[in-house]
């Protein structure tokens, strides 16, 4: 990563209206706070809600903690994302499986040398929720939406530590 080129991260869940938009905004908040040069986006493995704003409940709970999700719009994950993003973060293990399956399609479509994206769980390095799923809150109650925010905050802080180590190693290696 040079100081001019942002490191690009894509947060991915099923519908792109609850977990991944929350992860996008929370991760951006902590990266901005730590002055990391990042570009963060989100997408869904499904095409259930194209162009839709985040779920009203996700928006409401996020806003209570100061996160504004209102400008985001849902979109589906596509093979091109694997050549554009450096890192794709899955919110749960089913998302991870589906992302890996689409990555095979991207390899076939673009050629392996073009693929940039590493794939990991949102909770990959989070010692509190280590490699745990971010539970889907869509069909549940209010606790589910608070849990998504708790986990997104915890996992984003863990990623900030990893990004700082990674970028420092790259600077030191120059």
* Selected binder of ligand 4NP within 1, 39, 48, 135 (CB under 6 A): 48
State the nearest-atom distance from the C-beta of 3 to ligand 4NP, in Å: 34
Q: Which of 9, 10, 11, 16 binds ligand 4NP (CB under 6 A)?
A: 16
Dihedral angle at the C-alpha atoms of 83, 85, 90, 91, nearest 10 degrees? -150
Distance CA 151, CA 129 (A): 7
Contact call for residues 159 and 27 (beta carbons, < 8 A): yes
Residue 164 has a CB neighbour count (10 Å cut-off) of 14
Write out the H or E segment, with its range, that includes residue 89.
Answer: strand 87-90
> Of 11, 18, 19, 55, which is the active-site residue?
19
Catalytic residue check, 136? yes
Is 19 known to be catalytic? Answer: yes
Q: Identify the active-site residue in 11, 13, 18, 31.
A: 13
> Which position among 11, 28, 136, 152 bears the catalytic label?
136
Q: Which CB atom, from 107 or from 147, has the smaller least distance to ligand 4NP?
A: 147
Residue nearest to ligand 4NP (CB): 15
Residue with tokens 């990991």: 120
| Of positions 18, 89, 120, 133, contacts ligand 4NP by CB under 6 A | 18
Identify whether 32 is a catalytic site residue.
Answer: no
3-class SS letters over 21-55: HHHHHHHHHHHHHCCCCEEEEEEECCCCCCCCCCC
Residue 144 contacts ligand 4NP per CB under 6 A:
no
Q: Which residue numbers are catalytic?
A: 13, 19, 136
The binding site for ligand 4NP (CB under 6 A) comprises: 13-19, 48, 136, 138
């Amino acid at each position: 990563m040079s100081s001019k080129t942002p490191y690009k991260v894509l947060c991915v869940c099923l519908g792109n209206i609850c977990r991944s938009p929350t992860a996008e905004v929370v991760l951006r908040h902590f990266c901005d706070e730590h002055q990391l040069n990042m570009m963060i986006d989100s997408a869904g493995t499904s095409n259930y809600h194209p162009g839709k704003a985040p779920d009203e409940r996700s928006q409401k709970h996020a806003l209570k903690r100061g996160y504004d999700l209102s400008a985001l719009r849902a979109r589906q994950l596509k093979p091109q994302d694997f050549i554009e993003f450096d890192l794709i973060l899955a919110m749960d293990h089913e998302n991870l499986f589906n992302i890996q399956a689409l990555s095979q399609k991207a390899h076939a479509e673009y050629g392996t040398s073009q693929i940039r994206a590493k794939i990991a769980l949102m909770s990959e390095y989070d010692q509190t929720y280590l490699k745990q799923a971010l539970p889907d809150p869509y069909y549940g109650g209010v606790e589910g939406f608070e849990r998504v925010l708790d986990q997104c905050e915890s996992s984003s802080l863990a990623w900030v530590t990893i990004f700082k180590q990674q970028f420092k190693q790259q600077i030191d290696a120059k």
